[in-house]
Amino acid sequence: MALETDDFLDIDDVTPAELDALLSRAAAMKAGTDDPRLTDATLGMIFEKPSTRTRVSFETGMTRLGGHAMFLGPDDIQLGHGEPLRDTGRVLGRYVDVVMARLFDHADAETLAEYADCPVINGLTDDAHPCQTLADLLTIRETVGEDAHVAWIGDGNNVGQSFVVGAAMAGIDVSVATPAEYGMDPSVFERAAAFGVEIEPTTDPEAAIEGADIIYTDVWVSMGQEDQRAEKLSAFEGFQVNRELLSGTDAKVMHCLPAHRGEEITDDVMESDRVLVWDQAENRMHAQNALLVELLGDT
Mean pLDDT by 10 residues, the chain (299 residues): 90 98 98 97 95 97 98 80 88 97 96 97 98 98 96 98 98 97 97 96 98 98 80 94 96 97 98 98 98 90
Domain match, 81 and 221 both = no
Residues in binding site for carbamoyl phosphate = 51-54, 78, 102, 129-132, 256-257, 284
Domain match, 206 and 243 both = yes
Domain match, 89 and 176 both = no
Domain match, 65 and 176 both = no
Domain match, 170 and 215 both = yes
CA-CA-CA-CA torsion for 8, 12, 5, 69, nearest 10 degrees?
Answer: 20
For residue 21, is it within any domain?
yes
Task: List the end-to-end C-alpha distance of the chain, in Å, as a whole number.
Answer: 14
Alpha-carbon distances of 192 from 47, 174, 265, rounded to whole Å: 29, 10, 27
For residue 210, is it within any domain?
yes
pLDDT of residue 50: 86
For residue 228, is it within any domain?
yes
pLDDT of residue 202: 98
Residues in binding site for L-ornithine = 158, 218, 222-223
Q: Which residues are catalytic?
A: 102, 129, 132, 218, 256, 284
Dihedral sign computed on CA atoms, order 229, 154, 15, 275: positive
Cβ contact 210:248 at 8 Å: no
pLDDT of residue 1: 61
For residue 1, is it within any domain?
no
Domain match, 82 and 177 both = no
Residues in binding site = 51-54, 78, 102, 129-132, 158, 218, 222-223, 256-257, 284
pLDDT of residue 96: 98
**Number of separate domains in the chain:** 2
For residue 2, is it within any domain?
no
Domain match, 150 and 99 both = no
For residue 257, is it within any domain?
yes
For residue 11, is it within any domain?
yes
What is the spatial distance between Cα 8 and Cα 118, in angstroms, rounded to a whole number? 11
pLDDT of residue 2: 78
Domain match, 181 and 261 both = yes
What is the spatial distance between Cα 209 and Cα 206, in angstroms, rounded to a whole number? 6
Q: Cα–chain-centroid distance for residue 171?
A: 18
If you compute the radius of gyration of the chain from its CA atoms, what whole number of angstroms results?
19
Domain match, 27 and 77 both = yes
Residue 99 sits in which domain range?
Answer: 7-129+284-296
CATH number at residue 67: 3.40.50.1370
Domain match, 103 and 159 both = no
Domain match, 180 and 256 both = yes
Domain match, 94 and 110 both = yes
Q: Which of 95, 211, 101, 222 is nearest to 147 (CA)?
A: 211
pLDDT of residue 299: 60
Instruction: For residue 258, say if its preceding peptide bond is cis, omega within 30 degrees of 0.
Output: yes
Q: Which of 12, 4, 7 is nearest to 162 (CA)?
A: 12
